[in-house]
Amino acid sequence: MKKDILTLVDLAASDFDHLFSRAGELKHRRKQGISDPCLAGRTVGLIFEKASTRTRISFEAAAAQLGGTSLFISSADTQLARQEPIADTARVLERYLDALVLRTFSQEMQAEFARIASIPVINALTDTYHPCQVLSDLMTVIEFKGGYSGIRVAWVGDGNNMAQSWINAAAVLGFELILACPEGYMPEAAIVERARSWAGNKIRVVHDPAEAVENADVVNTDVWASMGQESEEETRRSVFAPFQVNRDLMTRTAKDAIVMHCLPAHKGEEITEEVFESGQSVVWDQAENKMHMHKAILEMLIIGQA
Ligand code: CP
Ligand code: NVA
């Protein structure tokens, strides 16, 4: 049966562990100049409704490095933009492609593609989740901290798509996650409730950034206004001002804590330039690992576990 990655609760802990180890192996092999052309003759389609630098290019590079072909299609240039039904689009694309990578506003749109198409559907960001990003972020955590068990992760800022994917990951893997979000900008209650029913008090949502980062091994933040929320930017800038990751906040973390940001960053807003450029920041390794993780994801979903 085909497998999709629409949310991280679609994966078992063993799937996460496979992806972490395979992505690490593929990273190592690339650095040794060894190629892995497991996608020879295969085609991956990317349909994006929103802008992207890293996700698009790392998925396209991943497919190319595995010997496959990728096709990037802005959704505005497809008949989807002229109301062709998803069900019809999916039944056509499954005949051309071996996997479909989607970046959309709605999570439900991706669920519908996945329900109808016989090929794997991979969520490359929705308003609700960004699962592939958190997979590669956790790969980075493992590289720097030696594993995910026993670690304490802090999230500071909006209860957005990234925050909700971290909640799902913590629910499946059981690491400690404390989120500090302003009132009115919390993660969806149903997502938090499901996670707490699986992982209990290991997952907490508070309103004080200092409480969230206390003894944290990993500090995560993201933009205050996500794609699609441009009209709220001004209001959000004042609501989120106390939620900046700065040197003062970082004095509360565990020693050797790392700072993560999925990028793009708005330096001077959610994170200071000083912290972003500090030795604790692992943002470039995070960005690199997206490509290695995307290779492992494409291989797992198209070919099966290596
Ligand atoms: N982190 C991330 O998803 O970046 P892009 O929007 O550039 O793809
Ligand atoms: N929360 C951000 C993530 C960008 C990669 C957004 O959705 O715009």
Name the residue with the closest Cα to ligand 1, atom 3: 55
How confident is the model at residue 275, as a pLDDT?
98
Question: Does the C-beta of 162 come closer than 6 Å to ligand 2?
Answer: yes
Average pLDDT, the chain: 98
Q: Determine the average pLDDT of the residues in 29-38.
A: 97
Digit-coded pLDDT (tens) for 181-227: 999 999 999 999 999 999 999 999 999 999 999 999 999 999 999 99
Q: How far is the CA of 123 from the centre of ligand 2 (A)?
A: 13
* Mean pLDDT computed over 166-183: 98
Ligand 1, residue 263: give the atom nearest the CA.
1
DSSP element (H, E) containing 121: strand 121-123
Identify the nearest ligand to the CA of 133 by its number.
1
Judge whether residue 306 has pLDDT over 70. no
Alpha-carbon span 159 to 155, nearest angstrom:
9
Closest Cα to atom 2 of ligand 2: 226
8-129+287-303: what fold?
Rossmann fold (3.40.50)
Tens digits of per-residue pLDDT, 241-261?
Answer: 999 999 999 999 999 999 999
Q: Inform me whether the pLDDT recorded for 95 exceeds 90.
A: yes
Taking CA atoms only, the protein residue closest to ligand 1 atom 4 is: 54
Q: How buried is 247 (Cβ within 10 angstroms: 0-12 exposed, 13-18 middle, 19+ buried)?
A: exposed
Is the CB of 227 within 6 Å of ligand 2? yes
Residue 279: φ, ψ to 5°: -65, -15
Q: How far is the CA of 10 from the centre of ligand 1 (A)?
A: 21
Q: Please identify, by atom number, the ligand 2 atom nearest to the C-alpha of residue 226.
A: 8
Give nearest CA residue, ligand 2 atom 1.
226
The answer to whether the beta carbons of residues 269 and 88 sit under 8 Å apart is no
List of residues 6+ apart from 4 with CB closer than 8 A: 10, 114, 120, 121, 122, 123, 301
Q: What is the pLDDT of residue 229?
A: 98
> Residue 76 pLDDT > 90, yes or no?
yes
Residue 101 main-chain phi, psi, to 5 deg: -110, 125
pLDDT band at 228 (very low <50, low <70, confident <90, very high): very high
The residue contributing the CA closest to ligand 2 atom 3 is: 226
First to last CA, the chain: 17
Is 289 touching ligand 2 by the criterion CB < 6 Å? no
DSSP per residue over 13-44, as a string?
HHHHHHHHHHHHHHHHHHHTT----TTTT-EE
Q: Encode pLDDT of 9-25 as tens digits.
A: 999 999 999 999 999 99
Band of residue 305 on the pLDDT scale cut at 50, 70, 90: confident
State the pTM of this model: 0.98
Q: Residue 261: nearest ligand to its CA?
A: 1
Looking at the chain, the domain(s) classified CATH 3.40.50.1370 span 8-129+287-303, 134-282
CATH homologous superfamily, domain 134-282: Aspartate/ornithine carbamoyltransferase (3.40.50.1370)
Residue with CA closest to ligand 1 atom 7: 53
Separation of alpha carbons 55 and 203, rounded Å? 27
For residue 180, what pLDDT is reported? Answer: 98
**Which ligand 1 atom sits closest to the C-alpha of 227?**
6
Q: Is 223 in the pocket of ligand 2 (CB under 6 A)?
A: yes
> What distance in angstroms lies between residue 256's CA and the mean position of ligand 2's atoms?
27
Confidence grade of residue 128 (pLDDT, cut at 50, 70, 90): very high
169 pLDDT tier (thresholds 50, 70, 90):
very high
